[in-house]
Every structure is written in C-alpha cells, then in structure tokens.
Structure 1
C-alpha cells in the first residue's frame, strides 16, 4: 500500500519514542510505501482534487535520529491516489488544524481513505469530547466566566485549570484549597473572559499516574502507560517530565475502554488514546495518540503491529464498501 502521513516535519521526530515513526517502521517492514507531507502542503483548487503539493516518498535507513530516513522521490501527489492517508499532526487543535480536516474531508470526496476520519477529528476535540460521557468523568466545568470558576473552586476546593487547545501538559494549573492565584490564573487562561477553559476537580490518584489507554479499531490494547508526575510537578505528561510506567489494564480501565471504544470507533476513529486518572476519564485523544514505543519497550507488546493490522483491515473494508 501507499501510505501518506500528514504530520509535523519528520526531521523533528525523536525516533526512540515517536509513535508515528513506529507506525512507519512497521509499515515499511511489511513492504508498504511511505509518503510524508505537512498540513501546509495540502492544496485544493476548483476542478481538481486535493493534493499534497510537496510530498516526499521516503525509505527508512535504520540509522539514528538525524539521518533515519532518505528521500527517494518528491512531487505533487493526489491524496485519492494513495491507499491510506494518516492524519498525525500534533495539536494545537486550532483553526489551521480544523481547516486541514476540511481539506482532508474534501479528499475523501475524491475517494481518499483518511484515518482518523476528518469529520470525527473535528467532532471530538480532545478536551471537550469527554462531555458526551459524564458518567465516566469527574466533576468538570467548561466556561470563560471567572465567577463560575470561583464557584467551582469553592465547591471542590482543589482544582485543575487547563486550556482547551493544548498538549503535553501545556498551560495546566492546580489551585488548592487556599485559592492562591486563582484570579490571576483564571484571567490568564481565559484572557480576561474571551477564551473558554476547562476546570476539573483535582484527582489525588494522579500520584499513581495519568494512564494512557490505547484503543485500536474499537479494541483496547491490554497495556496502558501510567505517566507519573515527578518531584513537585502535578502533571504526569511525558513532555512535562513525567515517568512512563507500562502496566496491564485494570478492570475499571478495561470497562471504560470497552464501553467507549466501540462507540468512538464506529464514528471513524481508528486510533484513540483515553487519558484516565483513577476511575475517571480526563481526555479523549484522537489527533495523534502516542505511547506505542514506551509500551512495547516495557512489555514486548507490539502496538504498532496491531495498529497496522487494523489499518490494513480498515482499508480493505473501505475498498469493498
């Protein structure tokens, strides 16, 4: 198959941990052709199909970091002429990301097969997607009003505030019972009431990790990665210095994944990353879920192989439809 990865510049990949690289490596092992572009390369004009204007066909060299790939061809490629397009652009989930999903949806009209489905990406912003499943989440507020934030803090005492478009723990704040800096933090995150934020009750179970549970084709991977905060840090995100510890899914983890996974997969979300603290879902990641390599390195479970199996099956199913 010809696989087109729409992603951040591949020169920036940290191959020892990057999940998109793990996907590419497994696909190459099976003989699939690897093509790459960035969202900015997507172009559409009236009377034509969506193309990747600066598409590169690459091979993997087996070497480390800077020269891990070699370009064997460059040029314009129509997305519908590939077998699958994999949208792997990292957040922020901003206007440009949304515009890219519209171009990818137009490519679907041309006949392209895109994973995750562009309309599903738009419909499931990673922070807000949990609102559909209130029975699986902790106390949560979405607002831009400072007074609502103060009332939520007064009720719950220890809270987390975070922007809706961040990743890797960016912009996350904790305010304890003393309320220290609540006003300043609220003003900063809401930009004086012009930007909506999410507020959640602090979950003390974070000391045991913010668990990333991967769901592929509606089926949970049997191991999760608990991202455990270090030192005085409240965030478990690996990008914020958290320690990743792979572990089997608990009964509660599996219950959550087996309930939400099929629902979300039916909407065109081939790969999902649930974030779970204690018994509560805190985010539903669909843009570019990670942790493939950390789980494989610690448990031997080949997540990338399971993903490419699911991708091949999904492509075959769409061809047959």
Structure 2
C-alpha cells in the first residue's frame, strides 16, 4: 500500500486515503443555493475516489459573499440542496466537508470570468463591505466599514449558525476559512488590521477574533467530527503575517480543538511577489506540522501521483489538497492508485474500464 492511500483517522472520522478535493468556488449559486452543478461537480470527485471532498466557501451571511453567486449557509432553506449532495458523497465513499467563510473587504465582486472587479455599494448587485479596519484591498477600491462590537457579535453568531446548518446538511468536516485575504485573515495580518482595541495591535489581539469563532464553532460541532482551519501561512510581504506567526497560531488552535491546519498562502496584498512553482507551499505544511505538532494539509501545484506520495511518505503533511488538478482530472485518485501500483476498487459501474496492467 502506498502512503497516499493509507487511511487517516481524525477524531471519529476515517478518511480512506490522503487525497482531498480542495474547496473551490464555482460561482454557480442563486441566492446561495446549491444547484445541479454542485451535485455533479462534487459528486464526480467522489466517484473518482477522493477521501475527503470539501465543498467551496459557503458564505455565512449574504454580505460575506465574494460575489452575488456564492454558495451560502445563512438560511435553513439552503440545507436540503446540500444534504442531497452529502448523501451522494457518503454513498460513494467520500467524507463530505464544507468551508465556512466571510469575505470581508474582498466581498462584493464580479465573478472571475466577468472581470472579477469590485462592485461598489451604489452599483447593481453591490453592497457595503466590512473589515477590521476601513482600508481598501486595492487602491481606488471600495472602502469597507470597520466592524464595531455589534458587527463582531453578529459575525460570531453567523459562523455558529452556519456550522449548525452544515451539521444538519450532513457534513462531517467543517473548515473555517482564515486565508487568502478574507475576513479572518484580515484580522490576523497587521497589513489589514490597524485596530487599537482588543482585536488589534499585538499578535494575541489580532488572533483573538479567529480564536473566539473557533470556540463558538467547536462548542456546537460534535466532538467526534474534525474541525479544520485554512490559513495563509505568509502574506509574502514585509510587515505582514509570517510563517512563524502561523506556527504560533497553529499551536494555539491545537489547544482549542482544531484538528488540522490547511496551509495555503497569500491573498491579502494585491501585488505580492510569490515564488509560484510545484509544491511551493508544502514547506509551510511541513514547518507547522513539525513545530506546532498538529496535522497539516499541503496545497499548491500538487499535480502528480508521485509528488503527492512523496509529501505523505516523507511526513511533510498528513493530507494533500488538490484544486486545479482535480478540475483537470476528477478521477485523479483512481489514476494515482494505478500509477503507484496500489490496487483500489473502482465503482462497479466503471469496473470494465479499470486498467489491468
């Protein structure tokens, strides 16, 4: 058995392999509802053999959406459509997960294929964004409203309520999105957080809001179900969030009951210089796993079976999360198993096509 196809147990959930479909926004929702697109998109990856499938960032509130077309979990009415999907994923051997998110100052944008530009509050489909501080993401962009105590309380409540809906919808892993320049990352980074109250200034203050949300979600998320947090391990910018900050945060989150750190990077600065290349973010997962003593997931240009196997076999991370490669090949796990000489069962409907040599 290859290490990539060895099982992993976190709390009471066993993943039958270490391959994860990373949360990828599809911008295919109307009023936050899951559609047939989501069923086919996520369902095909379950047929393809992924151990864990994390549905895209689900907005905890309408104003937390990146675009007007984001998936949502701010209403009980969203539950049935998602439950249809989780039932299919579980029936086909995958653990269903979902990412809960608030975009903060990066909310209210057009979809990428529509230009991805910010929609100002006075424009059609636009709304007023919020953030730790009244700082635009990009020069000339909309200025968010700095969150007051009432706004902070509402966001904590919205995360907790969304987690309860995720549970009702059948998800077994929930991931809090604190990466890519979205709201919780905005609190972490001194570049975007210039508050002078208990949520700004020192490291301890800047991580406070995320830690409060973790406590809120962990309090209602079953003790036998895992809780993940996605972070940007670095801002790639002087004066920003650093890998050492990420290690320190991860150690704190481990004590709070977080089970795995999903290690991405960037997104909080428009023009950061990022040395993109195969596996360029894997060292962050390795450092956090080693120094904070918590399981990690590796992401970023992981494109081959051999590369994924090496990451797991060498102990750099506990899971590999695939995004673009999963889009290119929904059946990557089945193909990877064949490449690595690890005989995996195929869906009986596809058995006739399974390679035999």
- Give TM-score scaled by structure 2 length: 0.29
Greater fraction strand: 1
